[in-house]
Structure 1
Amino acid sequence: MPAGLIALGAFIVVIIVWNVVFKRNMGEAMLFGLLTTAAFAGTGAPEALLGGLRDALNEEVLYAALAFVFMAYVVDRTGLIHKLLAILNSLIGRVRGGPALVDTAGSAVMGALSGSNSGNTAATGAFTGPWMVRTGWSPERSATVMAGNGGLGAALPPSASMVIMIGFAGSMVTTGQIYLALLCAGLYQLVWRFLLVAYFVRRDGIQRAPDEDLQPLRRALRDGGTALIIVLGALVPILVTVGPLANLLTNSTPLGESIEDISILTWIPLLVTALALIVGRRTLPRGARNWATWITDAMPRFASIGALLYFAVASSEVLSGLGLAADIDALLTDFQLNKYVMAVLVGVLVAVVAGPLSSTATLTAVGQVSLLALVSVGVDPVLAVTAILVFASTEGASPPASGSIFVAAGLTGAKPEKTFLPLVTYYMVPITLIGCLIAWGVLPVLS
């Protein structure tokens, strides 16, 4: 009996029912999913459960994810994201469809910093949504663009989704490989979204924004140019660990192979957070009581993502002990599917599950089995992980339960149901196709 595969199915059902039907938070759902999974070990359930919980504590991804959560909190509370948006506005706000272009570019920046789809839509759309409606975009079209762009929270590195998949892949990939590959995949998505904006502008006859709504670039840079410094927090760890500079440091300096020990997952959130605290120091609280309130406000974010990832990683350990990998191999051997059909099946599976769940919850539920399925039919592990992350990034555009849709509708006054078909047509299907092309090796990515 394929105990691992059956346990995986039960795990998925439990978290969907608990989260979608009973409307409980995902941390609770993951806990019950873990308990359900461990129960399949029979009399060894207590040992399997404790083993999974213990092994999860040794995973770097758990602590890295919490660091990214705090990084996003600091960047938001110091107001740096709004300064970055103002600069984007000054650069491209004067062209037709400027507000949508700013929303697209801003979503890419915010997505890379926060990794949250709904949070991405809310932070960027609070500024661009009303602006789009004011410049001739219909509420439904505005909401469609905003919700569709929300997926960039999971499409660009770093993100909690990326952290989860790196944990599942283990020694098959390195963090640097996935970071670069996902960056390339995110750029493909970004180009597609810019093309969509151009199409909508022409189809709907959108005109440029009034001059009074725009800030001169010189003023935007003067007021918020220092916010660009935080980008170095993401660039420096990448440059010193991947590419020509990394090779030079490894081969021609005393640092040598110690460069390979630098963890991107650890240093990006640390450096970005440190730079954000320095650049935004004037917005920081004064006095012990204000600092306590400031830190306390961040706690709910830690509780949510911390519980989700801890129980998710523990569940993965339990599933591995139940023989999930062997079950998948046996099942796929019977079907004898090629990588082209398998990529489509995995893409549809992930996109469908991402409808009621977030991208992180989706990958927690089906990320490991999807990775094993693609690798088993000959897909390179780096391409497999990247493609799965692309599939999961459809979350923002997945009706009817995506939080991004309702956030966007609330900001623009649109009826959410009127965005469902356009989101599927213009975002879900094309993005899933991009993921398939990456898995097939048609769209190249760096790694």
Structure 2
Amino acid sequence: MNLFDPFVVCIITLVGLALFGLPIGHSMIAASILYLFLAGLDMGTAAEQLLNSMFTSYTMLAVPLFILAAEFMNSGSMTMRLLNFSNALVGRFRGGLAQVNVLQSLLFAGMSGSAIADAAGMGKVMMKLMTHNGKYTPSFAAALTAVVAVVAPILPPSIPMVIYALVSNVSIGYLFLAGIMPGLLITVSQMMLVGWSARRQNFPTEPPVPLRELPGLTLKAIPALMLPVVLILGLRGGMMTPTEAAAVAAGYALFVSMVVYRDVGLRQFYDSLQSAARTTTSIGMLIAAALVFNYVITVENIPSNINQFLLSFELSPLMFLLMVNVLLLLVGALLEGTTIILIVVPVLLPTAHALGIDPVHFGVVVVFNVMLGLVTPPYGMLLFVVKRVSGAPLGAILRDTVPFLLGLLGALVLITLVPDIPLLIPRLFGYSG
């Protein structure tokens, strides 16, 4: 390996800057510009790639609009209405509040599309409720909150799914549909593990909500629960493009919060716009940097070379998928999820296509792996989020995470081996894969 090769210098620069604390987006842009300089290419190409990719992509607009929809929902009382609805359904069972935590994550997923938003928002509320009066240890509450937050970006609407669609040219609507069965599988597996832990550690139940109150609580939660339904029907009915669906989601969330629930005023509206803008800027910088770095990878012909290398092993589709699982789990422990989808996945896609792997199934497997990286040390962003909120030692959180993490790995293996699980609902809506 020639250490003075422009691409090698680029990679060393990227890693070095990131290790010194520079945000990964800035590191990728700096390393890419250095590569263009050393390779004798026009450094203005970096700006050209950024502008052409960012400002000519209609699909890209879906990302800030879904973020805005989540902000509108979080600024009002939607989260507490979903919490009350979840408590009425499962709070009466052993480990009641823990079961509520799992169920509210499933319901809240349709509002946020982000695991971090789930854990930092509703997850924070759940951790406080679970640890009140010593019902649950802080480490257990934090571990459960981190793990169940993984479901948010798998169910629609999902920002990682949108970004995967951007790099793979796969239908966002079918990707959203493909996330439903895996999301339900994760929820069921985690609720079973909570029941097992509750019996083993004698966790308490919650006072049962009278059945006569359930219709009223359901009625109050229906406007929030309808968002994913509106999106899926609009996308699959051909009434909306993905970007239009994101705009409808933002408008629907604003209408429900301001008109139906009447708990969001002009001040909350302005705060939501500010928060959405900050989040969009952060993600936008990362996407822009990845697009520039992808140009470098294309110039070096990396995807084609890796494709030929992998095909030379005559891997079966199953062996390739298992290899991808291992690779993404390892990379996910070190890199942020959006970075992986934008940088690593385009390198793997040509081989997946050559082996005849369904792109929608592959997308679900990729996003699932990326989300697992959020609860896998040493990166494990979700672990650090819940540690900061709960104040529990990281070692104790990691110990309590293990059983739930094993449940997630089991669900991943099942989804990998049985493509019919994620593809069941898309096929009901006309998908031919």
| TM band (smaller chain) | 0.7 to 0.9
C-alpha contact 2:63 2:159 (8 A) present in aligned 1: yes
2:188 alignment counterpart:
191
CA separation in 2, counterparts of 1:14 and 1:443?
A: 43
C-alpha contact 2:71 2:275 (8 A) present in aligned 1: no
1:156 alignment counterpart:
155
Bigger shift: residues 101-110 or 350-359: 350-359
The answer to whether the aligner puts 1:105 opposite 2:85 as a matched pair is no
C-alpha contact 1:86 1:220 (8 A) present in aligned 2: no
> SS of 1:371's equivalent?
helix
Which one of the candidate residues 408, 413, 438 is aligned to 2:415?
Answer: 438
1:252 alignment counterpart:
none
Note the 1:258-277 alignment, pairs <5 A: 259=238, 262-263=240-241, 265-277=242-254
Could you state the TM-score of these two structures normalised by the residue count of structure 1? 0.82
CA separation in 1, counterparts of 2:94 and 2:192?
A: 13
Q: CA deviation at 1:442?
A: 5.4
Which one of the candidate residues 208, 226, 231 is aligned to 1:232?
Answer: 226
1:397-439 deviations in Å (ceiling 9; x for gaps): 1123323213323444421122325535531x54345334434
Which one of the candidate residues 49, 52, 55 is aligned to 1:51?
Answer: 49
Which one of the candidate residues 73, 90, 93 is aligned to 2:91?
Answer: 93
2:202 alignment counterpart:
205
1:150-172 deviations in Å (ceiling 9; x for gaps): 212322222221111111111xx
CA separation in 2, counterparts of 1:365 and 1:272?
A: 28
1:269-293 deviations in Å (ceiling 9; x for gaps): 3223222222221333348xx8655
CA separation in 2, counterparts of 1:55 and 1:286?
A: 34
Q: CA deviation at 1:230?
A: 3.6
CA separation in 2, counterparts of 1:10 and 1:337?
A: 32
1:73 alignment counterpart:
71
1:123 alignment counterpart:
121
1:363-398 deviations in Å (ceiling 9; x for gaps): 223222233343333322121111111111103311
> SS of 2:152's equivalent?
helix
> SS of 1:284's equivalent?
coil
C-alpha contact 1:328 1:369 (8 A) present in aligned 2: yes
The answer to whether the aligner puts 1:331 opposite 2:306 as a matched pair is no
C-alpha contact 2:113 2:159 (8 A) present in aligned 1: yes
Which one of the candidate residues 298, 311, 325 is aligned to 1:347?
Answer: 325
C-alpha contact 1:153 1:393 (8 A) present in aligned 2: no
1:331-387 deviations in Å (ceiling 9; x for gaps): 112333222332222112212222233322332232222333433333221211111
Cα pair distance change 1:13/1:189, threshold 3 Å: farther
CA separation in 2, counterparts of 1:26 and 1:229?
A: 38
C-alpha contact 1:437 1:443 (8 A) present in aligned 2: no
Cα pair distance change 1:443/1:11, threshold 3 Å: farther
Q: CA deviation at 1:30?
A: 4.5
Note the 1:289-300 alignment, pairs <5 A: 292=270, 295-300=273-278
Letter in 1 for 2:145: M
CA separation in 2, counterparts of 1:11 and 1:235?
A: 45
Cα pair distance change 1:415/1:384, threshold 3 Å: same
Q: CA deviation at 1:48?
A: 5.9
1:250 alignment counterpart:
none
The answer to whether the aligner puts 1:138 opposite 2:137 as a matched pair is yes
> SS of 2:121's equivalent?
helix
CA separation in 2, counterparts of 1:11 and 1:159?
A: 32
Bigger shift: residues 130-139 or 336-345: 130-139
1:85-121 deviations in Å (ceiling 9; x for gaps): 1221222212111111111111122233212222211
Cα pair distance change 1:124/1:158, threshold 3 Å: same
- Point out where structure 2 has 5 or more consecutive residues left out of the alignment: 427-433
Cα pair distance change 1:313/1:191, threshold 3 Å: farther
Note the 1:381-396 alignment, pairs <5 A: 381-396=359-374
Bigger shift: residues 92-101 or 267-276: 267-276
Q: CA deviation at 1:147?
A: 1.2
Letter in 1 for 2:167: F
Q: CA deviation at 1:16?
A: 5.6
CA separation in 1, counterparts of 2:38 and 2:212?
A: 63
CA separation in 1, counterparts of 2:179 and 2:64?
A: 20
Letter in 2 for 1:150: A
Cα pair distance change 1:153/1:350, threshold 3 Å: same
C-alpha contact 1:356 1:401 (8 A) present in aligned 2: yes
The answer to whether the aligner puts 1:403 opposite 2:402 as a matched pair is no
C-alpha contact 1:80 1:276 (8 A) present in aligned 2: no
Letter in 1 for 2:91: G
C-alpha contact 1:391 1:432 (8 A) present in aligned 2: no
1:253-303 deviations in Å (ceiling 9; x for gaps): xxxxxx3x731x22433223222222221333348xx86555334431221
1:155-206 deviations in Å (ceiling 9; x for gaps): 2222221111111111xx3222211112222222222211211221122121
1:251 alignment counterpart:
none
Which one of the candidate residues 245, 259, 263 is aligned to 1:283?
Answer: 263
C-alpha contact 1:31 1:311 (8 A) present in aligned 2: yes
CA separation in 2, counterparts of 1:382 and 1:394?
A: 19
C-alpha contact 1:52 1:317 (8 A) present in aligned 2: no
C-alpha contact 1:93 1:102 (8 A) present in aligned 2: yes
CA separation in 2, counterparts of 1:135 and 1:398?
A: 27
CA separation in 2, counterparts of 1:77 and 1:413?
A: 25
> SS of 2:179's equivalent?
helix
> SS of 2:41's equivalent?
helix
CA separation in 2, counterparts of 1:160 and 1:15?
A: 25
C-alpha contact 2:165 2:172 (8 A) present in aligned 1: yes
C-alpha contact 1:83 1:225 (8 A) present in aligned 2: no
Q: CA deviation at 1:309?
A: 2.2
- Point out where structure 1 has 5 or more consecutive residues left out of the alignment: 247-258
Letter in 1 for 2:264: L
